[in-house]
């Protein structure tokens, strides 16, 4: 149990620093694509994480990103919404017998279709909220929607790549 908590703390720190120090400074498609890999932390939380802890971790993750991005509350709001959406998606996608406590919400344990539905929905929800709050008007609705969807696709690709890299390392051990 201690090792699981330690690993999640390290993942939190690593993903926030990777996002703040590397990914936020990439200029992909002239600023139209902004991958937010830090959301992988919320997606990868164990199934048995209590709802209150999921929401609290979402808030903490968002506040950490707001601190580095100088965006007061925008990431926190998007992450809390994503954490709440995670709770709903887990209920909607639950297997008939419930989730196996030995499995994790990843491609290897749950399959690509399940993961794409689960993570894709959460990433799109997060990105739509974040991008529309950032713009704070509907004048540029379609360009904001396009930016959010392109960034969500880039984030999904990075999440899948991160899972492929980490699962390969876990299998080698």
- Residues in contact with 171: Cβ distance below 8 Å, sequence separation at least 6, in sequence order: none
The number of residues in the chain equals: 173
DSSP state of 39: G
Rounded to two decimals, what is the model's pTM?
0.93
CA 99 to CA 22: how far, in whole Å?
A: 35
How many other β-carbons are positioned within 10 Å of the β-carbon of residue 134? 15
156-167 pLDDT tens trace: 999 999 999 987
Query: Which pLDDT score is estimated for 170?
Result: 52
97-114 pLDDT tens trace: 999 988 999 999 999 999
């Amino acid at each position: 149990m201690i090792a699981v908590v330690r690993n999640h703390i390290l993942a939190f720190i690593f993903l926030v620093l990777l996002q703040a120090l590397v990914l936020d400074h990439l200029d992909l498609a002239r600023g139209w694509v902004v991958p937010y890999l830090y959301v992988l932390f919320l997606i990868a939380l164990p199934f048995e994480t209590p709802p209150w802890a999921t929401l609290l971790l979402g808030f903490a993750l968002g506040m950490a990103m707001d601190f580095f991005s100088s965006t007061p509350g925008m990431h926190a709001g998007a992450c809390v919404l994503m954490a709440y959406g995670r709770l709903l998606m887990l209920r909607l996608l639950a297997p008939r017998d419930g989730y196996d406590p030995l499995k994790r919400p990843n491609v290897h344990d749950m399959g690509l279709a399940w993961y794409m539905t689960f993570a894709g929905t959460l990433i799109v929800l997060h990105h739509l909220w974040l991008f529309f709050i950032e713009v704070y008007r509907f004048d540029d609705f379609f360009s904001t929607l396009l930016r959010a969807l392109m960034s969500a696709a880039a984030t999904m690709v990075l999440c899948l790549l991160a899972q492929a890299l980490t699962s390969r390392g876990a299998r080698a051990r």
